[in-house]
A and B are shown apart, each in its own frame.
Chain A
Amino acid sequence: MCLAIPGKIIEISADNPDSALVDVVSVRRRVDLGLLQDDRPQPGDWVLIHVGFAMSKISEEDALDQMQTLAALGEAEAAIQEIQGYGLGEGTGAETTQEQPLVGDKLE
C-alpha cells in the first residue's frame, strides 16, 4: 500500500510547475510535484513517487537501490503497473495516449 517508486524527472511542464514528466525504468508518466513545493526538484533529479505524487527527493544511487528492493519484494511489477496506470495528464492525453491502459477504464 505504501509503495514508493523511484523516478527521474525528465521535464517540468512549462505551464504547470507541479506537473512533471518522470522516467521509471523507461516508462514515462506525469507525476504531481505539489508536495515538494518547498524544495522543488529539477530535471535530472530523482524522486520517490507514491500514488502519483512525488514524496521526497533521493539520490540516484538510493533510487536504484529502491528499485532493487521493490524487485526483491516482488513488487516491481506492481510498481510498473501503477506507474503505467497514472493518467495525470490534464485530459489532453497527448503524452500518455499510446500506453495508457487502465485508468478510468471500467474494470473487466
Chain B
Amino acid sequence: MKFVDEFREPELITKTAEEIRRLADPTRHYRFMEVCGGHTHAIYRFGLKDLLPENIELIHGPGCPVCVLPMGRIDDGLSLAMDPNVIFAAFGDMMRVPGANGSPLEYKARGMDVRIVYSPSDALKLARTNPDRHVMFFAIGFETTAPSTALTLMRARSEGIRNFSVFCNHVTIIPAIRAILDSPDMRLDAFIGPGHVSTVIGCRPYEWIVHDEHKPIVVSGFEPLDMLQSIVMLLRQLQSGEAKVENQYKRVVPWEGNRAALRAMAEVFQLRPYFEWRGLGFISQSALRIRDEYAEWDTERRFQVPGVRVTDPKAAQCGEVLKGVLKPHQCKLFGRECTPEHPIGALMVSSEGSCAAYYNYEHRKAATASVLSSTA
C-alpha cells in the first residue's frame, strides 16, 4: 500500500477518503466503472482501493486502445510491412503487441522496416524524407489521439504527399460504454468518465447515460485526489437519487470539448458501420474510417489488406473481465499462461490494461509478500 503522505495534499486526501466512508451506505454495494485505462493504471499505482471502503468496487472499463484492438488488425497492418518498399510506423505502445505471426518488434527483427514514431506528424515527416518509399502509419487511439491523425492527414493532402497512408484503427468511447451497459450480465451504478478523451469531446456526449440509463458520471482527473473527489461526487448523486454529468477535471476539460479537434475529425473521418473490439466483439458505429475525400491516404483502400481474423483462445476470459463480471485474477489464464511478458488476452497487453495493471501491482505484491513470509 502506498502511504497517503507520499501524495500531494495528504490531509485533503485523508479528509476526502473519510467523506467517502461517511457517504457510502454500508447496506449497499457500489459498482463504479472507470472507463479510461489511464485511470485503471493510476488506481493500481496509487493503491486507491486501500483508501476505499470494501463496498465500493471499481470495475475497469474498455478505455485502453491497445487492449481492445483485435489481433487480426495487427496482422493486417504488418502484412504490408513485408513489402520492402513500405515503412511501417507506429507508436511505441504498439511495438510489443503480438499479432498471430509476431509483434511489430519481431517483424523488425526479421528484417522488415518497422519504426517507432511519437507523433503522427513524425510519420508524415518520414514520408517527406523517404520520397521513394511508402510510409504507413498504424493509427490507434480514442478521441484523444484521432484529431492528431486527422490533422496530419489534412496536411498530407494539402502538401500533396502521396507516399503516405494511415491504417486507421481509431475507436470512439461512447458506443463501447453503451455496449457495456446493454450487456445483460452488467450491473453498474455509475461511471468515472475519461479525462483526456473529454478534452476533445467535452461532457455533452455522456448525457444519454444520465437520461437513458439514469446513471451518474463524473469526468475525472488522474491524481489520487481527483479520483477520490470524483467518487465523492458520484456518491452524493446516488445519495440524492440524482443522475447528472459532472466535470471534476474542469482545469483541463472544457464542457464543450475542443471544437477545432472535433472539426478536424469530422473533416477526415466518418463512422464505420461496425468494428470489432477485442474482448467485446462487434460494436456498431464504434470506430472511425477515412472519408472518401482522403481515400488516397487510406491504407485499407490503397493496398490489399487481407482482413485477418484471429479469435482469442477460448480459455481467455477478457470479455468477462472487461465487463467487470470477473476480476483479472479470476480468469483461468491469469498469471500462468497469460502474463505481461507473454500476453494472451487483450487486457494483459498494455500497462493500462486491467490485467497488466493488476499483475504489475497486486499480483507481484502478493507474490513478494508470500516469499517474504515463507522466508521469515
Write the residues of chain A forming the contact surface with B, with a CB cutoff of 8 angstroms: 1-2, 4, 32, 34-38, 48, 50-53, 55-56, 58-59, 62, 65, 68-69, 72-74, 82-83, 85-88, 90-91, 102-107
Contact of B223 among A37, A53, A69, A86 (CB under 8 A): A69
Cross-chain contact A2 with B145 (CB below 8 angstroms)? yes
Once A2-B36, A51-B148 are accepted as A-B contacts, the answer to whether A88 and B116 lie under 8 Å apart by CB is no
Contacts A87-B122, A91-B128 known; A107 to B45 CB distance under 8 Å?
no
- With A2-B145, A74-B45 known as contacts, the answer to whether A103 contacts B260 (CB < 8 A) is no
Residues in B with CB closer than 8 Å to A90 are 125
Q: Are B115 and A72 in contact (CB under 8 A)?
A: no
* Contact residue among A37, A51, A56, A68 (Cβ-Cβ distance under 8 Å from B119): A51
Residue B272 at the chain A interface, CB threshold 8 Å: no
Q: In the complex the two chains form, what is the Cα distance from A82 to B129 in whole Å?
A: 21
Alpha-carbon distance A82/B6, docked complex (angstroms): 26
Partner of A56, one of B45, B148, B254: B254
Whether B144 and A103, one on each chain, are in contact in the complex, defined by CB atoms closer than 8 angstroms, is no
Q: Interface 1/0s, chain B 192-222, versus A by CB < 8 A? A: 0011110110000000000000000000011
Q: Which of B7, B148, B251, B260 lies in contact with A58, CB distance below 8 A?
A: B251
B322 CB to nearest chain A CB (Å): 16
User: What's the minimum C-beta distance from A48 to chain B, rounded to whole angstroms?
Assistant: 6
Q: Which of A1, A59, A62, A83 has the most CB of B within 10 A?
A: A1
Which chain B residues lie closer than 8 Å to A88 at the CB level?
A: 119, 121-122, 125
In the complex, are the beta carbons of B115 and A106 less than 8 A apart? yes
A69 touches B222 (CB 8 A): yes
Residues on A with C-beta less than 8 A from B151 are 32, 34-35, 53
A37 to B144, CA, bound (A): 17
For B260, list chain A residues within 8 Å (CB): 34-38
Q: By the criterion CB–CB under 8 Å, are B129 and A2 in contact? A: no
Report chain A residues within 8 Å CB of B369.
none
B: contact size bracket: 35 or more
Whether B121 contacts A32 by the Cβ 8 Å rule is yes
Chain B residues contacting A65 (CB-CB under 8 Å) are: 8, 223
Across the interface, B118 reaches (CB within 8 A) one of A1, A35, A59, A86, namely: A86
The 4 closest A-B pairs by CB, nearest first: A52-B119, A85-B118, A53-B148, A2-B196
Q: A53-B147, A56-B254, A91-B129 given as contacts; is B199 within 8 A of A1 (CB)?
A: no
Would you call B142 an interface residue if the criterion is a C-beta within 8 Å of the partner chain's C-beta atoms?
yes
Give Cα A57–Cα B123 distance, bound, in whole angstroms: 25
Q: Determine the chain A residues whose CB is within 8 A of the CB of B196 once the complex forms.
A: 2, 4, 48, 50, 55
Known: A48-B199, A55-B258. A107 touches B145 (CB 8 A): no
Query: Given the complex of chains A and B, what is the CA–CA distance between A59 and B252 in angstroms?
Result: 9
Name which of A35, A59, A87 has the most chain B CB atoms within 10 A of its CB. A35
B144: chain A residues at CB < 8 Å are 2, 4, 50, 55
Chain B residue at minimal CB-CB distance from A61: B251
Taking CB atoms, residues of chain A closer than 8 Å to B117 are: 85, 103-104
Task: Out of B7, B120, B252, B352, name the residue touching A51 (CB < 8 Å).
Answer: B120
Let me know if B252 and A1 touch, CB within 8 A. Answer: no
Whole-angstrom distance between the Cβ of A82 and the nearest chain B Cβ:
5
Once the chains are docked, how many angstroms separate the CA of A35 from the CA of B332? 44
List residues 141-200 of chain B with CB under 8 A from any CB of chain A: 141-142, 144-145, 147-148, 151, 194-197, 199-200
User: Is B95 a contact of A1 with CB atoms below 8 Å?
Assistant: no
A48 proximity list for chain B (CB < 8 A): 196, 199, 252
CB distance from B39 to the nearest CB of A (A): 10
- List of B residues within 8 angstroms of A62 by Cβ: 251-252
Give B44-100 interface residues, CB cut-off 8 Å to A.
45-46, 64-66, 91, 93, 95
A1 lies within 8 A of B116 (CB): no
Instruction: Give the complex CA separation of A32 and B46 in angstroms.
Output: 32
Cβ-defined contact, B252 with A52, below 8 A: no
Indicate whether B114 reaches chain A with its CB closer than 8 angstroms.
Answer: yes
The residue of chain B having its C-beta at the shortest distance from the C-beta of A89 within the complex is B125
A72 touches B7 (CB 8 A): yes
User: Can you list 6 A-B pairs, Cβ within 8 angstroms, ordered by A?
Assistant: A51-B141, A52-B118, A62-B251, A68-B8, A104-B126, A106-B113
B-side contacts of A73, CB under 8 Å: 41-42, 45, 222
- Indicate whether A72 sits within 8 Å of B46 (C-beta atoms), given known contacts A38-B260, A55-B258: yes
Do residues A52 and B251 form an inter-chain contact, with CB atoms below 8 A?
A: no
For residue B350, CB closer than 8 A to chain A, the reply is yes
The closest CB in chain B to the CB of A3 belongs to B38
